[in-house]
Amino acid sequence: MAAGGAQPILEIRHVSKRYRAARPLFRDVTFEVLPGEFVYVTGPSGSGKSTLLRMVYRAETADTGSIHYFGKDVLALAPRAIPFLRRNVGVILQDFKLILDESVYDNIALALEILGLPPREIYDRVRQALDRVGLAGYEDIRAEDLSGGEQQRVAVARAVVTRPSLVLADEPTGNLDAGNAAMVIDLLEEVNAEGTTVLLATHDNMLIAARPHRTVALVDGLVDEITRGRAVEDVRYAGAAQEAPQP
Amino acid sequence: MNHLGYYLRRTLQGFRNEWGTNLATVLTLSVAFILVGALVTVAVSLGRQVERWGGVDQFQVTAYLQPGAPPGAADQLRQALSGMSEVRAVRYVPGDEARKRLVDAFPEERDAWKSLDSSFFPGYVEIGLDPDRADEAHYRQLVGRVERLSIVEQVETHGDWYTSVLGIHRAARVLAIALGSLAIFATVFVVSHTIRLNFYRRRRQVEVLRMCGATPWFVRIPFLLEGLFGALLAAGVALGAIALFVEAVRGRLVDVAPVLGNSPIQHLPLVAWGVFLCVAAAIGLTGAWVSVREALRA
């Protein structure tokens, strides 16, 4: 149970993953995310940030442990239930994952088509989402004709248009310049301010320092919770000080 | 039902975006369907010829009765043939009717026929055969049995004609079935590969769909519809081409081979159209299903 008595929206408990027998990616990762929180997952490249996020929407499985989303263990979900989990999780990836030969409108509407909403509602919601990300009037433009920053804003619009309870953002600013990166983080903070929980994976220490939020670090295969204001560089030190993972 | 519009839109979009591959597939399928359809048309037309030659209007085996045969001779003959499943009808034609038929067949000789005494036209019995059951052995057995009857004076047959047409008809049917089976395998294979290619070209779209919570069916259905519509389109093209061909050659065949009658080649019956379209639909769905199932597993 988290402080203050609120039920966590996401509980990650003792999760371990190894791709190679001799070297675990991470082990015994345990932390909670409360509703409405904005949480960074950080750590060096290869520390398993993306893998951990992929586990939350069951694009990946764990070797041990559990991940409870709204009290339900997503790692134990039957394959047929996975699509329904994903409908309540917005996902933003570093490479945007847009359908490049389709229009901005179609890219965003896709998430709503899956829900089977009526065309009128789809139209209204897509327009609202585009307004929110500052791309009103871009409906008919093909995704491939947009800049990287614009593409990522379309990806944000697609992730939030279904009004999910949780948005997972995996290095959303990794391919963007500073200006566009700031714009995307602004958007995610706005979404978060409206009550959506955001879990953002990044190895960008400057971003974490500039936009402080609760941070969970994966270092040397172990997790380290950092509170707001603590220097990110300390994480590496703290992680190194812990017992090294056993092969 | 909310998804129907989406499925149709995606299917049409898939057709449009991959138009080159899809066109090549539809044409390939059309050629295969035309070959099978043409063979079925030949088989159906030959079947009609067999019917015509062995049918109730022109009996293939004619048994002339002995002069002075008793009135119940036809019944006696019918009884003798009752155990033979290939015999479809036995009908007595009295002398008067025989003369009338001759007059109708050769009206220009009407006066000559009428001048002859009715006793000149012996009564006879027409024996109709079931073309599906009567092979050559049955045919010979039937003729032998009729010849042995004391009330029969002479048996007239068109055996060579009949058995030749029957043989060709059967060969065409066997060939149609064999080629049809082969075509089914080949076309399922073609559809499967086309859909697999389309699937991999739209891999990104599938990834996004799955990431956003699409069920496997939601991903699968547009590809299944692509396979279905492609195969149906090909079947439509093939049936249309065959119908046009039949229409074009029918008149010429009447001139070239009058022995084949007024309708030497037949349009495929509606039932055959229905079967053709159903088989095509099954081919399209099966081919698409196989490829999408494998691709989604990968």
pLDDT tens readout for residues A197-217: 999 999 888 888 888 899 999
Of A157, A224, A216, A209, which Cα lies nearest the Cα of A38?
A: A216
pLDDT tens-digit readout, A78-110: 999 999 999 999 999 999 999 999 999 999 999
In which band, very low, low, confident or very high, does the pLDDT at A55 lie, cut at 50, 70 and 90? very high
pLDDT in tens, B88-105: 778 888 877 877 877 776
Question: Average of pLDDT values for A151-166?
Answer: 96
Pairing between β-strand B61-65 and β-strand B124-129 as defined by DSSP bridges = antiparallel
Distance from CA of B224 to the nearest CA of A (A): 17
| In chain B, domain spans | 4-52+164-297, 61-157
pLDDT at A239 over 50: no
Q: Which of B2, B211, B218 sits opposite A97 (nearest CB)?
A: B211
Report yes or no on A150 lying in a domain. Answer: yes
B212 and A116 within 8 Å at the Cβ level: the answer is no
Q: What is the 3-state secondary structure (H, E, C) of B11-77?
A: HHHHHHHCHHHHHHHHHHHHHHHHHHHHHHHHHHHHHHHHHHHHCCCCCCEEEEECCCCCCCHHHHH
Token readout for B119 is 């006793």
Using alpha carbons only, give the angle B240, B245, B248 rounded to the nearest 5 degrees: 125
Q: Residue A59: its chain B contacts at CB < 8 A?
A: 211
Name the DSSP letter for residue A175: T
Is the Cβ–Cβ distance between B183 and B32 less than 8 Å?
yes
Residue B130 has pLDDT above 50, yes or no: yes
The CA distance from B219 to the nearest CA of chain A, in Å, is 10
Report yes or no on A217 lying in a domain: no
Option in A83, A97, A111 nearest B215 (CB):
A83
Question: Distance from A165 to chain B by nearest Cα, in Å?
Answer: 14
pLDDT given for residue B56 in this prediction:
41
Rounded Cα–Cα distance for residues A124 and A128 (Å): 6
| Burial (Cβ within 10 Å: 0-12, 13-18, ≥19) of residue B56 | exposed
Q: Kindly tell me if the per-residue pLDDT of B236 is higher than 70.
A: yes
Q: In the structure, what pLDDT confidence band is assigned to residue A161 with cuts at 50, 70 and 90? A: very high
Nearest chain A Cα distance for residue B269, angstroms: 42
User: Which of the four pLDDT bands, split at 50, 70 and 90, describes residue B73?
Assistant: confident
pLDDT of residue B264: 75
Q: Please provide the CATH number assigned to the domain covering B61-157.
A: 3.30.70.3040
Write out the two tokens for A149: 């920053």
Q: Does residue B131 carry a pLDDT above 70?
A: no
Q: How far is A92 from chain B (nearest CA, A)?
A: 10
**Average of pLDDT values for A177-192?**
93
Q: What is the pLDDT of residue B135?
A: 67
Percent of chain A with pLDDT over 70: 89
**Percent of chain A topping pLDDT 90:** 70
Cross-chain Cβ contact B3/A116 below 8 Å: yes
Q: How does the average pLDDT of chain A come out, rounded?
A: 87
Distance CA A92, CA B273 (A): 51
The ipTM estimated for the assembled molecules is 0.86
A87, B209: Cβ pair inside 8 Å? no
Q: Among A11, A44, A1, A39, which Cα is nearest to A25's? A: A44
Determine the Cα angle at B292 with ends B289 and B298, to 5°: 140
pLDDT value at B11 more than 80: yes
Residues B139-186 pLDDT 10s? 777 788 888 888 888 887 766 666 677 777 788 888 888 988 998 999
pLDDT score recorded for residue B53: 63
DSSP state for residue A36 in the 8-state scheme = T
Q: Do residues A201 and A217 touch, judged by C-beta distance below 8 A?
A: no
Partners of A99 on chain B (C-beta within 8 Å) are 204-205, 208
Cβ of A113 and B210 within 8 Å?
no
CA distance B110 to B106: 7
CA distance A24 to chain B (A): 25
What local confidence, expressed as pLDDT, does residue B150 receive? Answer: 80
pLDDT cut 70: percent of chain B above it: 89
Among the partner-chain residues B204, B205, B213, the one whose CB lies closest to the CB of A86 is B213
Q: Is there a contact between B263 and B62 (Cβ–Cβ < 8 Å)?
A: no
Length of chain B: 298
The pLDDT of residue A1 is above 50 = no
CB-side neighbour CA atoms (13 Å) of A27? 14
Contact residues, chain A, for B210 at CB < 8 Å: 83, 86
Q: Which residues of A touch B222 (CB under 8 A)?
A: none
Nearest chain B residue to A85 by CA distance is B213
Residue bearing tokens 């009609």: B48
Q: What is the mean pLDDT of residues B30-41?
A: 91
Would A121 be classed as within a structural domain? yes
Q: Residue A17 falls within a domain, yes or no?
A: no
- A6-43: per-residue pLDDT in tens? 789 999 999 999 887 777 788 889 999 999 999 999 98
pLDDT recorded at residue B220 = 94
Is B39 a residue whose pLDDT tops 70? yes
Test A97 with B215 for CB contact under 8 angstroms: no
- Cα distance between residue B289 and residue B225, in whole Å: 10
Single pTM value for the model: 0.74
A85 neighbourhood in chain B, CB within 8 Å:
213
Strands A89-93 and A166-170: parallel
Is the pLDDT score of B55 beyond 70? no
**A64-69 vs A10-20, strand pairing mode:** antiparallel
**What amino acid is encoded at A203 in this protein?**
H
Contact A83 B2 (CB under 8 A): no
pLDDT digits over B274-292, tens only? 999 999 999 999 999 999 9
Domain count, chain A: 1
pLDDT, residue B134, reads 64
A238 pLDDT more than 60: no
Of residues A118 and B96, the one with the higher pLDDT is A118
* Contact residues for A199 (Cβ-Cβ < 8 A; gap 6+): A10, A33, A39, A41, A53, A56, A166, A167, A168, A169
Amino acid at B295: A
User: What is the distance in angstroms between the Cα of A23 and the nearest Cα belonging to chain B?
Assistant: 26
**d(Cα A211, Cα A193) in Å, to the nearest integer?**
14
Report which of residues A192 and A226 the model is more confident about.
A192
* Chain centroid offset of residue B76 CA: 37
Write the CA distances from A80 to A83, A89, A136, B210, integer angstroms. Answer: 7, 16, 36, 12
Please name which of B281, B292, B297, B298 lies closest in space to residue B192, comparing C-alpha atoms: B292
* Pure H helices in B116-215: 136-148, 159-201, 203-211
pLDDT reported for residue A241: 38
The answer to whether position A125 is within a domain reads yes
Question: What mean pLDDT, rounded, does chain B reach?
Answer: 83
The radius of gyration of chain B from alpha carbons, rounded to an integer in Å, stands at 29
pLDDT of amino acid A34: 94
* Residue B5: Cβ within 10 Å count: 12
Q: What is the pLDDT of residue B261?
A: 66
- pLDDT above 80 for A118: yes
- Mutate one of B2, B11, B208, B217 to test the A interface: name it (highest A CB count within 10 A): B208
DSSP string, B95-143: HHHHHHHHHHH-GGGHHHHHHS-GGGS--EEEEEE-TTT--HHHHHHHH
**By residue range, what is the domain housing residue A139?**
96-163
What residues of A are in contact with residue B207 (Cβ under 8 Å)? 97
Q: Give residue B116's pLDDT band: very low, low, confident or very high (50, 70, 90).
A: confident
| Residues belonging to chain B with any Cβ–Cβ distance to chain A shorter than 8 Å | 2-3, 5-6, 17, 204-205, 207-216, 218
* Phi, psi (degrees; rounded to nearest 5) at B227: -65, -45
CB contact under 8 A, B211 and A101: no
